[in-house]
């Protein structure tokens, strides 16, 4: 089984993905990290030097490679991965794949991301919490259509990683 975690940046896809992979004894794959390794540069550098279209093509290639693998694994998608091209359709069509939306509220995302915005090139230019909240609200509105197609939706607001994993495991079995 392949378990694809999706949701907005800051919802905990990488952290929860690592914990889930440990508990299930599955390898963990972070799509953004895979792309960075493949390209030998950061996502930010890829966007700057090659542009978003180039990045989205890479993302689609990495996704297809993951889907072609016969191995069980936990995969953390990039926040925008399900929203571009046919990415989410490819995942949903794969009989061995399960999709999990780690759903966080705008308020929780704003609090989390404001503290780490210097490490997030997409939002580093936003100076106030109000600007960040507006940015997140707009993106969530645009992406909710895709995120909400996940087979499993787990509310992560104010939940510990243990509680999130328990909710996920109950729905995955």
pLDDT at 48: 85
Examine residue 44 and state whether it is found in any structural domain, yes or no.
yes
Examine residue 166 and state whether it is found in any structural domain, yes or no.
yes
The DSSP secondary structure of 57-112, one letter per residue, reads HHHHHHHHHHHH--S-EEEE--TTGGGSTTHHHHHHH-TTEEEEEEE--HHHHHHH
Positions at the binding site for Mg(2+): 14
Element of type H or E holding 6: strand 2-6
Please state, in angstroms and rounded to a whole number, the distance separating the CA atoms of residues 123 and 132: 7
Residue position matching structure tokens 């991965």: 81
pLDDT at 12: 94
pLDDT at 124: 82
Q: How many CA atoms lie within 13 A of 19 on its CB side?
A: 14
Assign residue 69 the CATH number of its domain.
3.40.50.300
Please state, in angstroms and rounded to a whole number, the distance separating the CA atoms of residues 157 and 129: 18
pLDDT at 117: 81
Examine residue 110 and state whether it is found in any structural domain, yes or no.
no
The domain in which residue 90 lies consists of: 2-102+147-172
Examine residue 158 and state whether it is found in any structural domain, yes or no.
yes
Positions at the binding site for substrate: 32, 56, 79, 143
pLDDT at 121: 73
Positions at the binding site for ATP: 10-15, 120
Positions at the binding site: 10-15, 32, 56, 79, 120, 143
Low-confidence ranges of the chain (pLDDT < 70): none
pLDDT at 166: 94
pLDDT at 165: 95
pLDDT at 161: 94
Predicted TM-score (pTM) of the model is 0.93
Domain count, the chain: 1
Examine residue 107 and state whether it is found in any structural domain, yes or no.
no
The closest of 21, 23, 41, 25 to 33, measured between CA atoms, is 41
- 3-class DSSP assignment, residue 128: coil
Examine residue 39 and state whether it is found in any structural domain, yes or no.
yes
Please provide the distance, in angstroms rounded to a whole number, between the alpha carbons at the two ends of the chain. 11
Examine residue 119 and state whether it is found in any structural domain, yes or no.
no
């Amino acid at each position: 089984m392949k378990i694809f975690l999706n949701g907005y940046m800051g919802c905990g896809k990488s952290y929860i993905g690592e914990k889930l992979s440990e508990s299930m004894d599955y390898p963990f794959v972070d799509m953004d990290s895979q792309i960075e390794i493949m390209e030998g540069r950061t996502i930010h550098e890829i966007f700057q030097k090659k542009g978003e279209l180039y990045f989205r093509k890479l993302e689609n290639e990495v996704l297809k490679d993951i889907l072609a693998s016969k191995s069980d694994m936990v995969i953390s998608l990039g926040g925008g991965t399900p929203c571009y091209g046919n990415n989410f359709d490819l995942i949903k069509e794969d009989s061995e794949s399960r999709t999990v939306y780690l759903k966080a509220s705008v308020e929780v995302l704003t609090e989390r991301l404001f503290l780490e915005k210097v490490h997030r090139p997409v939002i580093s230019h936003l100076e106030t919490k109000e600007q960040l909240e507006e940015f997140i609200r707009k993106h969530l509105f645009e992406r909710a259509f895709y995120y909400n197609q996940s087979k499993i939706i787990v509310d992560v607001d104010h939940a510990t990683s243990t509680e999130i994993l328990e909710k996920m495991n109950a729905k995955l079995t």
